[in-house]
Amino acid sequence: MARQIAHPTRAGQEKNPRREPTATGQRDAAVNRIASHNYFLLEKFETGIVLTGTEVKSVRAGRVNLRDAYGLVKDSELWLINCHIGLYEHGNIFNHAPLRTRKLLVHKEELRRLMGKTQQRGLTLIPTRMYFKNGRVKLELALAKGKQLWDKRETERRRTADREAREAIARGRKGS
């Protein structure tokens, strides 16, 4: 005899509508906004990250700081250094260390390509955002080149000019 389903689900309906938007992947767990100010972000790619249970719960709560973090290729492995994941508030003696070095998961070809670019061209790996995808924590890393002070000023000037042009166009439409 076939087993009957107690609670039928409808196609296209979210499993739990009250679930946290960060956990469902609708909102990023952490974003490194200062990265685009301090670096030219040349190429972005997605990596997995090895976390413990309390770290995942802290990421879900949004207790992540990517500001001073960077990626490093060492012994044919990719590592995330200086990323702060706050302590889980309901954790016990098995809670994680907030600034521990975490392993990043990438394919061998990607790792080989990254090793060449970071060693030869002087580029660095900067995390730009952390998010959930299919229930797993993912990290977006960017190959980046550091900006000089005059580069930062030029970017700010360009941004201001674009904003003023958009405002002038909006005023022109509004006046006619």
> Is 90 buried (19+), middle (13-18) or exposed (0-12) by CB count in 10 A?
exposed
Q: What is the pLDDT of residues 40-52, one digit of tens each?
A: 888 898 999 998 8
Q: What is the pLDDT of residues 44-83, one digit of tens each?
A: 989 999 988 888 888 888 888 888 898 988 888 999 999 9
Structure-token match 């250094």, residue found? 81
Q: Which fold has domain 27-147?
A: Small Protein B; Chain: A; (2.40.280)
pTM for the full predicted model: 0.72
Rounded Cα distance between 104 and 139, Å, is 8
Which residues have a Cβ under 8 Å from the Cβ of 115 and sit 6 or more positions away? 73, 76
Spans of all domains in the chain: 27-147
CA torsion sign, 77 to 105 to 97 to 53? Answer: negative
